[in-house]
Structure 1
Amino acid sequence: MNPDSLDQLTIALSPSSQALLAAAIIIMIFAIALGLKTEHFSFLRSDPKLFWGGLAAQLIGLPLMTLLLVTALAPHPSIALGMIVVAACPGGNVSNFMTWSARGDTAYSVSLTAGSSVVAALWTPAAILFWSALYPPTAELLDTINFDRLSFVIQTTVMLAAPLSLGMLAARYYPAAADKIRKPLALFGAGILAVVILDGFIRLTGALLPAWSLILIPVALHNGAAFALGAGVGRLLGANVARRRSLAFEVGIQNAGLAIVLLLAQLKGLGGAAAIAAVWGVWHFFSGGVMILLYRTIDSQKAHRKRT
């Protein structure tokens, strides 16, 4: 498949599949909100520079770096759009697990995830429009598909803000019930999401497989640059080793599931963009595993040198 054909490929979903996708992300955000506690924002009081600096790296640094990357690589418009949408989405709970596995500061990781989740409802739709408008090919692409920007902002904000607010209220007034249902709800939502997306991409494998290099190379470069950005900002903030690792994962691991939902349900299912988000969602497990192995190897070598 040539790049122009990839740009023209539309991943169409039935109304029922679109409803399931929206339901999946609402359930997952509600489940995340059920787990938000006051102590998750402790870094806001104890080390505000580290908290706000980490959020800035996610919310501003990553999209800005993505804009520079697409300008340098000049990918075809739908691929660039997919990269921008992924960069504008908040991090997910996967980063917390990877931080723990890499012997990072899990409390700091959870604090950043909580912060990005809270602001995502208002930030994500506005960020997607803002950064897409700064790159002429994606701005033109959105005009070509007659994209309704106001409707997108309203629908996305409601879809993100409503479950977030309800989940935080439930966690505040019914903490025992919230703790009990949080994990099952998160798994249920993730299961719905996985089934719908897998079904759609199995049907399109034949069309997307010839374009694997057009998709995988930008994803790998983008993800690697995101990890480097997080670690680099950690150094600039004067963070210790464990917190630099946390920030690397917070910036490097994005909520690709949300990106896929937005692209399929509200951004016309553009083939290149949706494929970027889907491949990112798989790739970051591989790259995150490599990062964990690297960090643990470094720790083992340091421990060995101390013993000798």
Structure 2
Amino acid sequence: MDAAAIDQLQVIVDDQSRLGIAAILFVMMFSVALTLRLTDFALVRQQPVRVLGGVLAQLIGLPLLTLGLILMLSPPASIALGMLVVASCPGGNISNLLTRAAGGNTAYSVTLTAISSVSAAVMTPVSILVWSRLYPPVDALVEALHVDPMPFFVQTALLLAVPLALGMALNAWKPVLAERMGRVLGPLGLSCIALLVLVGIVQNWPIFLAAGAVIIPIVVLHNSAAFALGWLGGRAMGMEAARRRALTFEVGIQNAGLGLVILLSQFDGVGGAAAIIGTWSIWHLIGGSLLAGLFRWSDSRTLRANAKERKT
């Protein structure tokens, strides 16, 4: 499938579907906010330089890296849009789970996730608008979709900020209730996104099959580069291995479900972008799990080597 054909792909979203997507977005961000506590931000005061460095790697470094990949690969405009939307999304709780599984610094991971989640209400729409302007084909695509920057920013910010504020307020007021609700709403939000991706793939299977040769390599390269940026960023800041691993997953694992919902609700369901984000939402779990396994394998190998040296 050539570039022109990919850019013509579109996921049809009617008014009822938009309401459903908005409800999914609310549940997603509300469930994220239910897990946020003031203690999650404690490292900001204790280790401000490392926290700031990690935040900048997420909010500035990843979109900048993405723009560099786009300029190097010159993908179709819709695919470039999908890459920029993913890079503009905050991290997710899955990064905390993978950090723990990899033997990383979970407290650092939780702090970065909390900051990126709270700042998403402003930073995600701003980042999408700013970075999309820097690649002319994407800028032209956004113009063709008649995306008015101010309404887009206001609508997206409100859709993200309201459930975040309500969830954090409930957690501060009734933490036990918030924890119980989070146990239900967290998996529910993930299930809705998984269902959304699955239905989209099934309904558009011929399209995904035809475009897969273009989309899958780009997603794998993009995600691998994001993981590498996190690891190299941690190394450049002189972090120990556990903290480097945390930053690796924070930069490489993005809330792609949020990106998909924003795309479908605000960008008329551009098919190439939806394919990129949907594929990312599956692949980053595979890539992240493989990377966590690699880290643990490395640890076990080191332990065996140390034990062998002690015996000799």
TM range (shorter): over 0.9
Q: Distance in 2 between matches of 1:178 and 1:117?
A: 17
Alignment-derived partner of residue 252 in structure 1: 252
Supply the AA of the counterpart residue of 1:30.
Answer: F
Q: Which 10-residue stretch deviates more, 157-166 or 38-47? A: 38-47
User: Matches of residues 157-306 of structure 1 in structure 2 within 5 Å?
Assistant: 157-306=157-306
User: Matches of residues 7-86 of structure 1 in structure 2 within 5 Å?
Assistant: 7-86=7-86
Alignment-derived partner of residue 156 in structure 2: 156
Q: Which 10-residue stretch deviates more, 19-28 or 190-199? A: 190-199
Offset at residue 33 of structure 1 (A):
0.8
Q: Distance in 1 between matches of 2:197 and 2:102?
A: 29
Q: Distance in 2 between matches of 1:31 and 1:142?
A: 30
Question: How many residue pairs get matched?
Answer: 308
Q: Which 10-residue stretch deviates more, 122-131 or 182-191? A: 182-191
Offset at residue 31 of structure 1 (A):
1.1
Distance 1:195 1:17, change over 3 A: farther
Q: Kindly report the root-mean-square deviation, in angstroms, between the aligned alpha carbons of the 2 structures.
A: 1.0
Q: Distance in 2 between matches of 1:161 and 1:59?
A: 17
Offset at residue 216 of structure 1 (A):
0.6
8 Å contact kept, 1:9–1:272: yes
- TM-score (norm. length: structure 2): 0.97
User: Matches of residues 141-152 of structure 1 in structure 2 within 5 Å?
Assistant: 141-152=141-152
Deviation per CA, 1:236-278: give whole Å up to 9, x if none.
1111100000000000000000110011111111111010000
8 Å contact kept, 1:20–1:192: no
8 Å contact kept, 1:8–1:271: yes
8 Å contact kept, 1:85–1:259: yes
Offset at residue 10 of structure 1 (A):
0.7
Q: Distance in 2 between matches of 1:225 and 1:197?
A: 23
Offset at residue 22 of structure 1 (A):
1.4
Q: Distance in 2 between matches of 1:245 and 1:147?
A: 38
Specify every segment of 5 or more residues in structure 2 that has no aligned partner in the other structure, as ranges. none
Supply the AA of the counterpart residue of 1:282.
Answer: I
Deviation per CA, 1:73-105: give whole Å up to 9, x if none.
100100001000000000001100000000001
Q: Distance in 1 between matches of 2:221 and 2:78?
A: 17
Offset at residue 127 of structure 1 (A):
0.5
Alignment-derived partner of residue 2 in structure 2: 2
Offset at residue 187 of structure 1 (A):
1.5
Offset at residue 38 of structure 1 (A):
1.4
SS of structure 1 residue aligned to 2:104: coil
8 Å contact kept, 1:21–1:192: no
Supply the AA of the counterpart residue of 2:14.
Answer: S
Alignment-derived partner of residue 102 in structure 1: 102
User: Matches of residues 109-128 of structure 1 in structure 2 within 5 Å?
Assistant: 109-128=109-128
Offset at residue 225 of structure 1 (A):
0.5
8 Å contact kept, 2:13–2:268: no
8 Å contact kept, 1:34–1:179: yes
SS of structure 1 residue aligned to 2:269: coil
- TM-score (norm. length: structure 1): 0.98
8 Å contact kept, 1:90–1:117: yes
Offset at residue 290 of structure 1 (A):
1.4
Supply the AA of the counterpart residue of 1:54.
Answer: G
8 Å contact kept, 1:3–1:214: no
